Every structure is written in C-alpha cells, then in structure tokens.
Chains A and B, each alone.
Chain A
Amino acid sequence: MSMLMKVAGLTRSPGDPRILSTGPGTLAGPDHLARGLGWFSIGLGMLELFGARRVTRTLGLEGYEWLIRACGAREIGSGVACLSANPAPGVAARIAGDALDIATLAVAARQGDVRRGNAQIALLAVIGVTVLDVICHQALTARHARPPGPRRDYHDRSGFPKGLAYARNVQG
C-alpha cells in the first residue's frame, strides 16, 4: 500500500505528527493467530490447487488430484474469510475442513502403500493444526462475541429535555 501511495503521490505534510513510540492496540493474540491461520490457509490452498499432482504422489493418493484441488479451493476460501473483519466464521470453516482432511488422510494412512508414512505425518500435522484452529475459534468468540444475557434498556433516553410531545410540536 505504501508503494501505491508513493506512486499516487499521496504523501504526508512534513508537519504532520510522526510516531515516536507505539502503544497498546486493538489486535490481541487471537486476532493475530486468526490472521496467521488465514495466510497459512491461503498458502496451503495454493499448493493444493496448483501442485495437486505432487501432493497426491507424496501421499499415495494418485487419481485423486480433483479432490486435492477442491480442498485447495476450500482452503483459499476459508483463508480469505480468516483475514476478513470477522474471522470467526473463517476459522470455523477451517475446523470443518480439518475434519474432512483428517478423514481423507486417515484413509491414506491405512493403505498398504509404502508412502503411508507420509500420510501419517500429514495426519499428525493436520491434527495439530486442528487443535490450533479450535483454540483460536474459542478465543475469538470469547473476545469478540456479544455475551448472552440482558441488554441495557435505553427507554429513558429520548434526547428531548422537554419531552417527546413538545418535540413533536416544535415550530422551527
């Protein structure tokens, strides 16, 4: 973006305040984690989408390139959602995707192929990432969701010091 700004000539005035030191901000651990998972998801999705053949060779899943590409598209979608203003649904989508990945890899890990070791390693990695996804989703929900329970009642806040009836009949 800063490159774009320079090309567009959008520079600050020399007199504008400059940052001397940075302080507490809006982003907390769960937000950073969701972003990390989002970029990870997009990276993995690209790999699956454009390197499906290599992935199937490594895992012993030849013939299932279509499945890997579909998983790649799903990963990119959930990754984009994780980077959005409300990342919780994106992380939830990742958890659902993790379940599908675990089911697929569990099949690959049990086959008689010599490469089942690769599938077992991948399965362990996905289980690890799933744990991270679940932790992230719980933390995001705790931080950003509106807690259940009664809301404040603002029925006493008309904004009309002389009353609503007076306000309705104000002449100019």
Chain B
Amino acid sequence: MEIRAIGCEPLSLKRIGVKDGHTLKVYRDMGGYKSLEKAFKMSPADIIEEVKKSSLRGRGGAGFPTGMKWSFVPKDSPKPKYVVCNADESEPGSFKDRYLMQYDPHALIEGMIIAGWALGSSTGYIYTRGEYKYLIDIMDIALAEARDAGLLGKNILGSGFDHNIHTHTGAGAYICGEETALLSSLEGFRGHPRMKPPFPAVEGVYACPTVVNNVETFTSVPQIIEMGGENWRNLGTEKSGGTKLWSISGHVKRPGVYELPMGYADMEKFIFEDCGGMLRENKKLKAVIPGGSSVYIMNAGQILGKNVTLDYEGLVTAGSMLGTGGMIVMDETVDIMESTKNLTEFYKHESCGWCTPCREGTDWLVKIFNRISDGGGRPEDAQLMLDICDNIEGKSFCPLGDAAAWPIQSAIKQFPEDFKKWLVDKAATRNGIEANV
C-alpha cells in the first residue's frame, strides 16, 4: 500500500521510509524538537497567533480553525488545563492517523507539548482507539524516550515549563471520536456526547479547560512553528492552509495514504493518474465518497471533467465535504442501495443511544433497508427514509445523527436508478396486485 506525498515535499510523511524514523535519535537528527526550542522563546499568545495565521483546520473531520479553538481557552482560569489528542480514528475510509503514530510518534509528542505551552497545560492524554493497541505500545516507548531526554516532565529544556503526556485506551466505540463523547469516555463513563456550550475549551475533561485535536492537527503544529504560519498556509490555499493526508481505498490500483497540498487539482487526476486509475480497467467509475463515510456521496458526473479541487471549499462547491479526507472509490459493480445499507448499519451499531431521533431513527432505517434487500421494497420507501433522515438531521446531541442521514439523502439524490431498481422494479406485491409507481 502506498504512503507518499504528491504535488508537494513530504511534511507529515517526512519520516516514511526513513530507517528508525520513529526513534528520538533519528527524529532529532532530522531537526525534530527544534520547533519546541523555538516555541519556548515565543509567548503562548504568539504561538496561538501563528497557528491562526496558518489557517490550520481540524484534521479529524470537522475542520474547525485550530487557532480559534485554542484561543477559546480562558487564560486566567484557575483550573488545570488539558491537551487531549483524538486518536480514535474510526471514520470508515480513514486510515491516516495510524501511520503518523507508527512512523512519526515524536511529531505528535512535540506538537502536543507546544500546544501545552501555548495553553498553559501541564497534562496531555492521547486517547487511542482500543483496536490500535500496537500503536499505544509504540507511543509508550516514544513517550519514555522523551521523558528520559528531559523533553517531558519537569522544567522541559530548562524552560521552567512542566508537561506530561499519557496514553489512554478506548474500547471500541466510533462515537468516542466525537470530542465530548471522548471526554466522557476519558473520565471512565459510557461514551455519551455532551451539550455544547459549554465547549471543551472552557469546560472539558473533569470540567476543566481542554483542547481536543486530531493526531494530524497536532503533528502539523511543529511544522507551523518551524516555517511560520503564513508560509505553512501558502503551501495550500487561502482558507485551507498547508498539506493534508488523504486515505484512498476501494476500486483503485494504488490505494494508500497520500500527502497533498490543499487545493490540489483535481480529484479526477488524483484518482486516474496518481492512484493508478480504476482497479479493473473495464469497470467504469460510479461513485466516490471523498471524505469518510459521513460526507455526501458523489456520482461520476460530479467529478469527471468538473475540476474538483481537493480543499475544504472545493469539495463543498462540488457538492460534498472534505471531512477526514478518507476517499472511497466505487466502480460500476457496486449497488448504491447495498453500499448505503452497509453504512446505515454502521451508524446504527455505533449510535450511542442517548438521543431518540438517532437511536430510533438509525434502527428503523436499518429495518427498512433489510426489508428492501429482502425484496420487499415499495416506491414510497424513498420518501419514508428521507422523512426519517429529516427527523434525525439537526435534531440530535451530536453530529453522528447527521452523519447517519447524509449518506442516505445524498445516495437517493445522486443514484435514483439504484433505488428505483429495488423500490419499483422489484416492488413488493400484495395479494398479487402490483404496487403503484
């Protein structure tokens, strides 16, 4: 599987293929922890300003401006502050954070210490999905290296600043990738999300100011400090700064993790040239989910010849979202009713159960999909599912409800023939009377 940069010098992927790149020695040989030294000479306010200038946006899917998130932490709060890394990577189609942790653990550590300095925090946690146990072991080794070298603990590099980072395991729950559910889980409870406001920056873990950021967001921070926020932003576009890791899977010849400059033009070139084109030469492109399962599905007509640029704005213009950059490519052999059913089962399994619209809605959607795939589809099922999606979207505590609705809404809109096949052509007959179209 490929892991490489295209259209830019590798930044996040700088240590891929470098022997022992995960060790402290090699990290330092390649300039690692120089950003931390530089950061200690800057004021916390200046660091936050630099991150704002970079226009770094959360790489975990929500894309919230990171500098703005950090600035929400109240500087004069007497409570201890926490830095939490969201390594719960569970979005279907996304598989980038695991390679950052495996091959570049010190980049994550350095980014979190800089964040700790900027936010006045002395404790950080790396919340890692339980299935990634081997990565927790790798992070523990890297953290021990950092501690032994005085890069963690008391008076780091003689700065007077104390900071410790601990790993923490999840136990199988996609919802714990949502930052407030993550904090519930970190406290030892069921992974239920919490109402915002208050935002974690004000009241997070243990009701203390907390910044939760994705792995790739933190690993971008040393890069930003090293080259300056504006230079980092200019690697991408005005509103989508820097580079982004894309995870490509499905029916392409070269699936893998690719680092692209934000604004890379365009999605068609990326799929057909950089990723080697369709897996089976005689099967045409049918559908792409560009940013992880929770974004709108796109049909080939929205991509071919449309110059879809790979940045936040470009994907919205094209009718979808960037999300996590987890791109799933599907050829004409995929039945979109079946693929949407598969994702709906995912959201139903992962719904935490707190909110009625999401808990009951995802359950009913799965039941309807089961009836359809058993041959009992009815023409009115499309509207029925859209009505249920309408009752979930925007009406639950957290975005999982929306994420469950969007695949269905976009699939029915972009692939009506696939649904017509199941709902009309194979429509249920009652007492021998054909259902009305």
Partners in one complex: no
